[in-house]
Chains A and B, each alone.
Chain A
Amino acid sequence: MDPLLDIQNLSLVFDTFDGTYHAIDDVSLSLKPGEALGLVGETGCGKSVLTRAAFGLVPSPPARITQGSVKLDGMELLGLSDRALRQVRGRQVAMIFQDPMTYLNPVFKVGTQLVDAIRAQHGGAIDRKAAREIALDMLEKVHLPNPLRQFESYPHELSGGMRQRILIAMALAARPKLLIADEPTTALDVTIQAQILDLMAELVDDMNLSMIMISHDLGVVAQVCSRVAVMYAGKIVEDAPIRDIFDSPLHPYTQGLLGALPHPFRPADDLESIPGNLPDLLDPPPGCRFAGRCTYRRPECTVPISLENVEPGHSVACVLRPGEAATTDSATKDLNHA
């Protein structure tokens, strides 16, 4: 099957007064139709910039895409005019974000905003009444209680969970092929988060939607996604089915992330913490960007490395191969705890 989204060798830099900041470096990522991919990494790893840059949402200057290509359904997006990109965004690709309040206008009723958005998605080709029908239909799809009443509400009258449902309804009203969800539940309470994650899993199935969910939480991603790409310092270091990420993570950074995560139902004696800090992306190391913090570091880690397929569907950017890490595992644990 041809990929729906195909990002190849994308690099993006920010020109700053201190020099060139290499935010995204030679990233390739593709998504099949109907697939839900989790893009996971810590603050500053470039996960949001990557998805925004792909759809022309990173202002240039200061950003500059230095190489690569982004294809949606076979159509190259890089180099498209703003006008053409706007046709893609909203209709073929929709996005939802972390803080739903920021993306709703506080002085207009929710219904008005939905109708306006839906009319814009149709290029103004439908009237308000038809748009209202679509909006109410969508609100039902996202299980918003009492849609008719909420239609007349202002955003501040709604809870965080309800606002996020409204934004999901707005995003999906145009039946986009791809949904980008950037930390959609981070601002929500855990019980509400569970509701929204259930909803997203349901919509991915029902609407045959493809999704990239950005998150710093592997637990959240595991609820919805079937595949995970782990980013570190502007690069994808591992890309694998969700089961492999948890059962046999290959990249030392992925292993570190998992070891740092406390488990609610398993008492742990200790957690791993990853020593050191992110490398300076104004002057990134030439080889593996994680090498400076890696306990398996070898001389060959200073040579540039790219993602390589090691098992079906499982790629990793590391000189270690399956099995090699396991042999030194206990030694590393001791080192980490020292």
Chain B
Amino acid sequence: MLEIENLKVHFPLPSGQTVRAVDGLTLKIAPGETMGLVGESGSGKSTVGKAALRLVDSTSGVIRIGDLDVTKARGRQMRKLRSRAQMVFQDPHSSLNPRMTIRRAVAEGLILNTSLRGKALRDKVAEMLEAMGLPAQFHDRFPHELSGGQKQRVCIARALALDPELLVLDEPTSALDVSVQAQILRVLRSLHEARPELTQLFISHNLAVVRFLCQSVAVMYLGRIVEMGPVDRVFDAPSHPYTKALLSAVPVPEATRRPDRIRLQGDIPSPTALPTGCAFHTRCPIAKKDVCNVQEPPRIELQDGRLVRCHFALGSAPE
């Protein structure tokens, strides 16, 4: 459904340097699948989401949504793209127009892209909002009259109004409290049943949330995917040393502390000066001199269908 091949998104800086936000990323999401895209800030995960919807232009590579080539779409095709792929952002407050009622916010896309008018339009909007648990008394309210969770549900209703095939969610719960986050996660998970055809790309730094919501997961580091596969496999038996470190850094809500912790030293390097070889070698606990700092790791497919970019994914790593 969503296919990205060797995507590069580079941003030139006035200083002459280049930010390599996404640097050779390949991924595929099957129709109806929900894929989590995880990584630290600066890993390029949001840029991937934006490029998939052509909210930023890509430098090279191919992005396809179904049969539509996103990177080449123009004019009428762009219009088509907008109704086939939609996005929900992190901060629901700044993604709603404060001067529009939520009814109007949801109706806008329908007015622009469909012939629905009058009562039919009204009914459709009401149906969308009610499906998100917002009954009629809310529909004429303005965003400032709603709570954060309610606003995020409006954003989801608006994104779904045009019946998109692809929904990109960029950290949709990180601005919300735990109990409200749970509410939104339940709404999103109910979409798996309510809209089995909908493909979702769920961008998040919160691994627990990804575990709850996604069937597959792709782990990004400095513009590339280092590990990708079914969520249970990746979480229960991570293969890439970065995935291992990321998972062991997650604060687990239980009283006993986990003994098998791996701690990364230092910070993520700057995407203006990517390390040579494997981009992770500067922080990697198993990096080997003259291998990891020189050669780019190959893309290795494990038996369970997982893809890993590490020289030692098939063993022979120094323990």
Query: Is B209 interfacial (CB-CB < 8 Å)?
Result: yes
Interface window among A50-58, A131-139, A173-181, A217-225 = A217-225
Interface window among B68-76, B84-92, B246-254, B293-301 = B246-254
Residues of B within 8 A of A198 (CB): 263
- Within the assembled complex, what's the spacing in Å between the Cα atoms of A272 and B186? 9
The interface bits of chain A over 189-212 (1 if a CB of B lies within 8 angstroms of the residue's CB, else 0) are 111111101100000000000000
A-B contact number at CB 8 A: 119
Interface size on B, residues (CB 8 A): 40
Taking a contact as CB atoms under 8 Å apart, the answer to whether B251 and A246 are in contact is: no
Interface window among A17-25, A147-155, A252-260 = A252-260
Taking a contact as CB atoms under 8 Å apart, the answer to whether B250 and A216 are in contact is: no
Q: Which residue of A lies closest to B207 (CB)?
A: A264
How close is B175's CB to chain A, nearest CB, in angstroms? 10
Residues of B within 8 A of A242 (CB): 255
How close is B15's CB to chain A, nearest CB, in angstroms? 15
Interface window among B49-57, B96-104, B177-185, B305-313 = B177-185
Taking a contact as CB atoms under 8 Å apart, the answer to whether B186 and A271 are in contact is: yes
Taking a contact as CB atoms under 8 Å apart, the answer to whether A271 and B40 are in contact is: no
Within 8 A of B (CB), among A216-261: 216-220, 222-223, 242-243, 245-247, 256-261
The interface bits of chain B over 175-212 (1 if a CB of A lies within 8 angstroms of the residue's CB, else 0) are 00111111101100100000000000000010111011
- Within the assembled complex, what's the spacing in Å between the Cα atoms of A189 and B39? 9
Residues of A within 8 A of B254 (CB): 222, 246
A161-B267, A262-B185 known; A190 vs B208 contact (CB < 8 Å): no
Taking a contact as CB atoms under 8 Å apart, the answer to whether B253 and A261 are in contact is: yes
A267-B232, A273-B186 known; A260 vs B178 contact (CB < 8 Å): yes
Taking a contact as CB atoms under 8 Å apart, the answer to whether B246 and A191 are in contact is: yes
Residues of B within 8 A of A78 (CB): none
Q: Which residue of A lies closest to B178 (CB)?
A: A260
Query: Is B41 interfacial (CB-CB < 8 Å)?
Result: yes
Taking a contact as CB atoms under 8 Å apart, the answer to whether A264 and B40 are in contact is: no
Interface size on A, residues (CB 8 A): 45
Residues of A within 8 A of B249 (CB): 190-191, 193-194
Query: Is B245 interfacial (CB-CB < 8 Å)?
Result: yes
Within 8 A of B (CB), among A267-303: 267-268, 270-274, 277
How close is A154's CB to chain B, nearest CB, in angstroms? 17
The interface bits of chain B over 212-239 (1 if a CB of A lies within 8 angstroms of the residue's CB, else 0) are 1000000000000000000010011000
Query: Is A156 interfacial (CB-CB < 8 Å)?
Result: no
Closest 9 CB pairs of A and B: A219-B251, A260-B182, A194-B249, A262-B212, A273-B183, A243-B255, A264-B208, A189-B40, A262-B208
Beyond the given pairs A190-B40, A242-B255, 18 more chain A to chain B contacts, judged by CB atoms under 8 angstroms and listed by A's residue number, are: A145-B266, A159-B267, A189-B41, A189-B205, A189-B268, A190-B205, A191-B245, A194-B261, A197-B251, A216-B178, A260-B179, A260-B181, A260-B182, A263-B211, A263-B253, A265-B211, A271-B182, A272-B182
Q: Which residues of A contact B (CB under 8 A)?
A: 42-43, 145, 159, 161-162, 189-195, 197-198, 216-220, 222-223, 242-243, 245-247, 256-265, 267-268, 270-274, 277
- Complex A-B: 29 CB contacts under 8 Å: A42-B179, A189-B205, A191-B249, A191-B264, A192-B267, A194-B263, A197-B251, A219-B208, A219-B251, A222-B252, A222-B255, A222-B257, A223-B257, A242-B255, A246-B253, A246-B255, A257-B179, A259-B182, A261-B208, A262-B182, A264-B208, A264-B211, A265-B236, A268-B212, A270-B186, A271-B186, A273-B179, A273-B180, A273-B186
